[in-house]
Structure 1
Amino acid sequence: MTKRRIKKVAVIGSGIMGSGIACHFANIGVDVLLLDIVPRELNATEEAKKLTLLDKVVRNRIVNDSLAAALKSKPSPIYHQKFASRITTGNLDDDIAKIKDVDWIIEVVVERLDIKKQVFENLEKHRTPGTLITSNTSGIPIHFMSEGRSEDFQKHFCGTHFFNPARYLQLFEIIPGPKTSEAVLDFLNDYGEKFLGKTSVIAKDTPAFIGNRIGIFGIQSLFHQVKELGLTIEEVDKLTGPVIGRPKSATFRTVDVVGLDTLVHVANGIYDNCPDDEAHELFKLPGFINTMMENKWLGSKTGQGFYKKVKGDNGKSEILSLDLDTLEYRPKKSARFATLELTKTVDKVVDRFPILVSGKDKAGDFYRKNFAAMFAYVSNRVPEITDELYKIDDAMKAGFGWEHGPFQIWDAIGVEKGIEIMKAEGFEPAAWVNEMLASGNKSFYSIKEGASYFYDIPNKTQEKIPGQNAFIILENIRKSNEVFKNSGVVIEDLGDGILNCEFQSKMNTIGGDVLAGINKAIDLAEKDFAGLVVGNQGPNFSVGANIGMIFMMAAEQEYDELNAAIKYFQDTMMRMRYSSIPTISAPHGMSLGGGCELSLHADKVVAAAETYMGLVEFGVGVIPGGGGSKEMALRASDTFQKGDVQLNILQEYFLTIAMAKVSTSAYEAFDMGVLQHGKDVVVVNKARQIAVAKQHAILMADMGYTQPILRNDVKVLGKQALGMFLVGTDAMQDSNYISEHDMKIANKLAYVMAGGDLSEPTLVSEQYLLDLEREAFLSLCTERKTLERIQHMLKTGKPLRN
């Protein structure tokens, strides 16, 4: 069989979803043709310019305006603005013939079957046989769409449901039609995981497929419970947010972001098309939702939904929330529950569930009702919407941002305990759950030899979840492969001579225990292994150094201890670079401050595409003190070419730190100089990151890794650069762009990056720059305003400008 490759795709329909999908294909390097309809009439601007409906600029107005709006939206649908050049726009009248040259056609037009069928009829006239053709529908049955199409069309046709926003949400549902070939499904499943960076889930052709069927049930269930339990929308959002591993936007804020009309459309679709669903009546919209729809209170898109942002009398913005009894907006109320207080010291979300369902207050009642309804519902959906229970969990995690799927939560509570709660709330599990317990299987999942297994209903045995060979799941190997552990890190043997150092501190901050762990990992790797990966699978790689520890030492004026602590940090970073084994950093999510410095000093960085990286120490009143300031001076020196204006190059690196720039993707981090072309690599699928990092470590070791030699050839520009920086910061302070303290921090950084006030450009050692950096960091820690900044960050999580 010939190998199928995707070099070019056509996206038909440029609305929010179509433009988002086009951008994500551009993200991964694919050539995109984005087409939409021709406008039926001129707008005012076009009339004023005396254009006609025959002018190309008019004919492509809809597609060009949609794409431009998408590229300006936040969060951005594209990893880097220059990737937008991979998208070519056109219209369905003039440019439809171009689809003959593409490898995959994705239809993303309005959710109406008649229109979709018309589009497919038109596409088939120009489609080259063998070309993939898919529909991004969120609920129209796939079998209706391909009726009347040719044999070749039907064989290569299925649903491919991306979740919005396509760049950020991981779920990629693949829904076969009656005649879709197995080869097409296998290809799309693999392509979704490997290239698009998604969690691919093959679903059945049932209403709303998997993610929305379960997700909308969950939301509708809450809509009915909120009145029954007398809860406010703030209370529900408090109970259904990060405390149970869900996004900060929880329930009602998420509905506001997605749009109430979108949710209503899917709920109505399920109500109309699933008459035999045991929870059929639950999909009927409560009265308050109908009123909100009539009032056009649809959420962010109409300026108000469950929440509404208003300007107060003092001119400050204030968030109001909707009272569901009076349907009037009122000031937000804070929500507190005794049960939630009990989970504050429980770091792992999965360990909180047994505590939450045993709560004696309104929160405990809420969780028992909520989970009982959810467990009953998901157990009854197997085998209706999928034959394998793990697909439901995968869909909820990847499509709705849940840390744990319903069956994983049930396992955490205990299957038998879950049934007990269900019965108390008037629910029964599906018969297969009782059969599972009777067969001696006490849980839905198990882990054997580092792999995840799930309960397979027909076979009544635990079967290995397919597709794991490309992943290393640290959670699965942590206990069996542990080599060393302290309070800050776990060091695991990844096999093939490679160790992994996994941070375990709060938000993966880097304190003394983490530094000791990194040093221990390097000691072990140098003695008995071939390479080291520093990586974890938490929400973020690391938010930086433990500023609480710095604050305590500085406030108590323990400057000798603080100096030793900074030196220990610097020395550890230098060991990352100058050890006798290859070191690989695997950053993802927030990789800030010390987390960024660690990556700067690794031999290679294998970054997830969604990596938000930067040296942000200015926000807490200091300069990067773990080698970051030194490293940016070194990188500037390494880019100096004959004939360059070296001051300008150094200034770029200086501004990256002084403006506390953070990349919005790994690709932007290359522009900032914190990732390096030709050395560092980007992985689109975060689940594959540790495995890819391990492969790079093996490759570097096998190619004959040589321990680097300490650098003594860093060119610093001395007084010439220092003078320029000081004049610049002075002017900025005079113009009130920066505060007096900002100027003090910037001048300290300038002194380090210029290499001090040397009379002429000089070659210096890294250690010389590290000593300057440490001295500057320490002196800033003696400043009252720096301590105020650190304290404010510790209290609020936000930077203070003082």
Structure 2
Amino acid sequence: MPQLRIRKVAVLGAGVMGAQIAAHLVNADVDTILFDLPAKEGPANGIVDKAIANLGKLSPAPLATRDRAAAITAANYDQHLELLRDCDLIIEAIAERMDWKKALYDRIEDYVAPHAVLASNTSGLSINDLADVLPESLHERFCGVHFFNPPRYMHLAELIPCAKTKREVLEGLEEFLVTTLGKGVVYAKDTPNFIGNRIGVFSILSTMHHTAAFGLGFDEVDALTGPLLGRPKSATYRTSDVVGLDTMAHVIKTMADTLPDDPWHRYFTSPEWLQALIGKGALGQKTGAGIFMKKGKEIQVLDLKAQDYRPATGAAAPEVIEILKTKDPAAKFAALRASQHPQAQFLWSVFRDLFHYAAFHLAAIADTARDVDLAIRWGYGWSLGPFETWQAAGWKQVAEWIAEDIVAGKAMSNVPLPDWVFDGRDGVHQAEGSYSPVKGEVLPRSNLAVYNRQRFPDPVLGERAAPGDSVFETDAIRMWHDGDGIAVVSFKTKMHTVSDGVLAGLLEAIDRAEKDFRGLVLWQPKEPFSAGADLAGALASLQAGKVAEFEQMVATFQKVSQRIKYSLVPVVAAVRGLALGGGCEFQMHAARTVFALESYIGLVEAGVGLLPAGGGLKEIAVRAAAAAGPGGDVFAALKPYFETVAMGKVSASALEAKQLKLARQDDIVVFNAYELLHVARAQAKAMAESGYRPPLPARAISVAGDVGIATFRMMLENMREGRFISDHDYEVSRRIATVLCGGEVDRGSLVDEEWLLRLERENFVALAQMPKTQERIAYMLKNGKPLRN
């Protein structure tokens, strides 16, 4: 079967979604053209040029690095439709108007290449209705591809075929979305709002209904429906503000217009307060006020009784928090249903109606229950989807309770649950797959080749991938393999911090890898890669006066980094999420690092009054000397590193880590975090096949010496005089400069790695004993943010 090769993509529509889709495409090195209408005044591409310029101002950032914006080609429909002939994929992302979309399709159809795929990013319009305007020859290459906002960060992409879309087109597009763009693909049926928004928006509507029914405040509901339920901090009403209240009202109206026969149809209407806010222009975050508003430093919330804003102080009641902390889901739901507290009754009601709605519509909107759960998790950021939550709480008992409430008239609709809910099942997910009510059987996951790259796919309840064969396991670390000659080692500490146990385990893992394997991968099953050294243990040693023990810990840390670097088998770091401090230093010493795009890398020790001492500064000095070359300007090569370390900069993506030089240019960036382990192991295998040898020890490292230190100190003096840094900031930065420059030696002196490691240790231990550093460490441990002292 011919493969779908996508070299160039056109995005039609430079609005919020179109521009951000284009941004994510160029993040992934896809040649991208962004189209819109010609501007009425000024340059013809003015609308697109403005949209591209605005990408650098958005938060969260749609671009992995700001300079990626220049890679987007601006175009307009009047002058540049010929450019479409070279595109392999065309994504239409204009406003949700059927007539506008069809008019655009009429305009472009003659320019679509015979092999090209045309896809609509509609969030809920009928794909088959859109296809009606296209020539028959395009139907088999047309489908819906619904990205969720913001497209760089939201994992979900819904793929919606029309009646005649070719299977190979869908599968080729699925592979592109999964590997190139890093998405989780869910196939949706051509029903209004598809899966994610159909269920997700109903959940919001249900929450709005029960907020009023139980007399709760908007801030009170957000306190209940956020992290306490395993959902994002923005919860319900803050999410609505972020999305835009006008957008929310439009989606609700779309449901009302397109789902007249839905048994819950009477709830598909915007509440009066929402219409009133929109009428005043209070549309949420984009206008500065909506359900919430920031007044100075205070967050205020709309109070419907007072018809005004008040301080947002609503909170979950202690007794409800205790219920939600219950580890047994069955006991938790029983307690919620039995409690007379309005907040508990509210939560039970919201869950009940969500379960009822999802079960009733499952057969119409999705192939399996898994599709619904993954769509909600990936598109809305919930830790569990609705069917997973129901199953974990005890399928049969919860089903009986829902049925009782329907009969009693307490549910939002009186339609009964589907018969399959009561066929004796204990849930919809099991190891073999997930239930399909249409086929009346359990269906396994896709067997498409791209999913062979996911050793541990994101599981739904009841699924668990084989854990591999253990080599050894301690309280701090596990080493395992799949029989392919490549071992994998993972940390078991909180936030994957580097403790004494992790250090000892890594030394043993490398020894065993050299003896029994061809390569070793450092990988964590979940984010982060590592938040760095175990600060709590370090502080305890210092406060107990165990300075010698503390210094030995630092020496062991350095020894591990050096063992990673000089291992006789390639050690590949597979990084996603945070890689801070010691975590960053480990990946710097690896033979190669494979990063997930969303990797946030930094040597942040200065924030707690310390300097990197796991070999990080030594490695920077080695790299700077190599970059400068014989007789070159080492100081110039060091300067950007110094700023990065002294300011504790953390990259906002793996691509930015390369710009900060905390990642190497030949390190690999993958966009799908679930493919990270596969690519890292492939790299280790390839290096082993190539006859890998570690680098020769660096014994003649040219350093900037005393002149470099003096120059850095002059910069720091100016910053201290201008009160940009404190006295302790100055002391920390001065010592960072001392190590990077190789100490008080002549400029151009040649030193070895041991010399630099000793300087790291000495300055690290000296800083660690200072009261202000210990204050910073204690503050960070208590508050999770740095102290300026």
- What residue number does 1:712 align with? 699
Measured in 1, the distance between the counterparts of 2:255 and 2:729 equals 56
Asked if 1:412 corresponds to 2:409, the answer is no
- Paired letter, 2:633: V
Measured in 2, the distance between the counterparts of 1:345 and 1:580 equals 48
Asked if 1:493 corresponds to 2:481, the answer is yes
Asked if 1:445 corresponds to 2:445, the answer is no
CA shift at 1:203, angstroms? 1.0
Measured in 1, the distance between the counterparts of 2:71 and 2:619 equals 34
Change (3 A) 1:324 1:436: farther
Q: Deviations over 1:170-225 (max 9, x none)?
A: 11111112222222212212211121111112211100011100110111111112
Change (3 A) 1:220 1:459: closer
Measured in 1, the distance between the counterparts of 2:320 and 2:493 equals 21
- Paired letter, 2:198: R
Asked if 1:602 corresponds to 2:602, the answer is no
Alignment map for 1:335-354 (pairs within 5 Å): 335-338=315-318, 342=322
Measured in 2, the distance between the counterparts of 1:302 and 1:683 equals 36
- Paired letter, 2:455: I
Determine which of 163, 167, 172 is the counterpart of 1:178. Answer: 163
Determine which of 410, 419, 434 is the counterpart of 1:431. Answer: 419
Change (3 A) 1:725 1:123: same
CA shift at 1:648, angstroms? 0.9
Would the aligned equivalents of 1:379 and 1:430 in 2 still touch at CA under 8 Å?
yes
- Paired letter, 2:428: F
- What residue number does 1:11 align with? 11
Would the aligned equivalents of 2:199 and 2:358 in 1 still touch at CA under 8 Å?
yes
Determine which of 286, 293, 296 is the counterpart of 2:278. Answer: 293
- What residue number does 1:625 align with? 613
CA shift at 1:15, angstroms? 0.8
Measured in 1, the distance between the counterparts of 2:320 and 2:611 equals 38
Would the aligned equivalents of 2:291 and 2:301 in 1 still touch at CA under 8 Å?
yes
Asked if 1:454 corresponds to 2:438, the answer is no
Measured in 2, the distance between the counterparts of 1:491 and 1:414 equals 35
- What residue number does 2:711 align with? 724
SS in 2 for 1:587: strand
- What residue number does 1:513 align with? 501
Q: Deviations over 1:718-763 (max 9, x none)?
A: 2121121122211221122211111000011111111111134333
CA shift at 1:458, angstroms? 5.4
Asked if 1:70 corresponds to 2:47, the answer is no
Measured in 2, the distance between the counterparts of 1:228 and 1:522 equals 61
- What residue number does 1:124 align with? 109
Q: Aligned residues: percent identity? A: 38
- Paired letter, 2:28: I
SS in 2 for 1:90: strand
SS in 2 for 1:384: helix
SS in 2 for 1:26: helix
Asked if 1:99 corresponds to 2:87, the answer is no
Measured in 2, the distance between the counterparts of 1:507 and 1:632 equals 25
Change (3 A) 1:221 1:785: same
Instruction: Please provide the CA RMSD for this pair.
Output: 2.4
Asked if 1:665 corresponds to 2:653, the answer is yes
Q: Deviations over 1:604-640 (max 9, x none)?
A: 1110011111111111111112222222112212212
Determine which of 567, 571, 576 is the counterpart of 1:588. Answer: 576
Measured in 2, the distance between the counterparts of 1:101 and 1:124 equals 14
Q: Deviations over 1:297-316 (max 9, x none)?
A: 221111111211112xxxxx
Change (3 A) 1:334 1:746: farther
- What residue number does 1:90 align with? 75
Asked if 1:734 corresponds to 2:721, the answer is yes
- What residue number does 1:314 align with? none
SS in 1 for 2:56: helix
Q: Deviations over 1:356-401 (max 9, x none)?
A: 6635555543443222222222222221001221111121122112
Would the aligned equivalents of 1:376 and 1:430 in 2 still touch at CA under 8 Å?
no
Q: Deviations over 1:673-704 (max 9, x none)?
A: 111123x1110111111111122222223333
- What residue number does 1:303 align with? 288
Asked if 1:752 corresponds to 2:739, the answer is yes
Change (3 A) 1:336 1:782: farther
Determine which of 770, 778, 783 is the counterpart of 1:791. Answer: 778
- What residue number does 1:397 align with? 377
Give the alignment's TM-score, normalised by structure 2.
0.92
Change (3 A) 1:707 1:31: closer
Determine which of 223, 229, 249 is the counterpart of 2:208. Answer: 223
Q: Which runs of 5+ in 1 are unaligned?
A: 43-56, 312-316
Q: Deviations over 1:296-335 (max 9, x none)?
A: 2221111111211112xxxxx2211222433421112152
Q: Which runs of 5+ in 2 are unaligned?
A: none
SS in 2 for 1:11: strand
Would the aligned equivalents of 2:622 and 2:698 in 1 still touch at CA under 8 Å?
no
Asked if 1:469 corresponds to 2:470, the answer is no
CA shift at 1:462, angstroms? 4.0
Measured in 2, the distance between the counterparts of 1:498 and 1:417 equals 46
Measured in 1, the distance between the counterparts of 2:629 and 2:223 equals 55
Asked if 1:674 corresponds to 2:662, the answer is yes
CA shift at 1:104, angstroms? 1.6
Change (3 A) 1:577 1:189: same
Measured in 2, the distance between the counterparts of 1:608 and 1:406 equals 28
CA shift at 1:459, angstroms? 5.7
- Paired letter, 1:406: P
CA shift at 1:113, angstroms? 1.1
- What residue number does 1:246 align with? 231
Asked if 1:374 corresponds to 2:354, the answer is yes
Q: Deviations over 1:446-488 (max 9, x none)?
A: 33xxxx7323445655442114422011873465644443343
Measured in 2, the distance between the counterparts of 1:183 and 1:488 equals 46
Measured in 1, the distance between the counterparts of 2:654 and 2:646 equals 20
- What residue number does 1:53 align with? none
- What residue number does 2:363 align with? 383
Give the alignment's TM-score, normalised by structure 1.
0.91
Would the aligned equivalents of 1:581 and 1:705 in 2 still touch at CA under 8 Å?
yes
Asked if 1:326 corresponds to 2:306, the answer is yes
Change (3 A) 1:352 1:304: farther
Would the aligned equivalents of 1:16 and 1:70 in 2 still touch at CA under 8 Å?
no
Change (3 A) 1:352 1:488: farther
Change (3 A) 1:463 1:147: closer
User: Which has the higher mean CA deviation after the structures are superposed, 638-647 or 301-310?
Assistant: 638-647
Measured in 2, the distance between the counterparts of 1:726 and 1:94 equals 56
Alignment map for 1:161-200 (pairs within 5 Å): 161-200=146-185
CA shift at 1:128, angstroms? 2.7
Change (3 A) 1:214 1:345: closer
- What residue number does 1:26 align with? 26
Measured in 2, the distance between the counterparts of 1:740 and 1:783 equals 13
Change (3 A) 1:527 1:334: farther
SS in 2 for 1:544: coil
SS in 1 for 2:61: coil
- Paired letter, 2:285: S
Asked if 1:358 corresponds to 2:335, the answer is yes
- What residue number does 1:563 align with? 551
Would the aligned equivalents of 2:256 and 2:269 in 1 still touch at CA under 8 Å?
yes
Determine which of 675, 684, 687 is the counterpart of 1:700. Answer: 687
Change (3 A) 1:691 1:365: farther
CA shift at 1:588, angstroms? 1.1
User: Which has the higher mean CA deviation after the structures are superposed, 27-36 or 680-689?
Assistant: 27-36
- Paired letter, 1:444: V
SS in 1 for 2:777: helix
- What residue number does 2:268 align with? 283
